[in-house]
Amino acid sequence: MEAVRRWARALLLGAVPVAAGLLLWAAVGAGEERRQQTLKALPEVSPELLAQRRRQNELVMAALREAAETDENVARRPVPWRK
C-alpha cells in the first residue's frame, strides 16, 4: 500500500509543473494571437509600409545568408557594402 501512495505522490508532483506549463503556454498563445490581430488593424499599416518592411527583411536575410556562406568577418567590412 505504501508503494501505491509513493507512486501516486510522484505522479502528482510530476504532473503539477507540466500542467502549469501548459496553462502558461495557452495564456501566452492567446495573447500573441490578439497582438497580431491588433497589429493588422492599425491604421498606419499601409501596403507601402509593408512593402518597405518586406524589402528591409529581404536585405537583412541576404546579409545573414552571405555571412553564413563566407569565412570572412562581414561585420568588419567598410560601410558602403558592395551589393
* DSSP one-letter string for 14-43: HHHHHHHHHHHHHHHHHHHHHHHHHHHT-T
pLDDT at 80 over 80: no
Q: pLDDT over 70 for what percent of the chain?
A: 93
On whether the CB atoms of residues 45 and 39 are closer than 8 A, the answer is yes
Calpha distance 46→52 (Å, rounded): 10
pLDDT at 40 over 80: no
* Chain mean position to CA 53: 18
What average pLDDT does the segment 60-83 reach?
A: 77
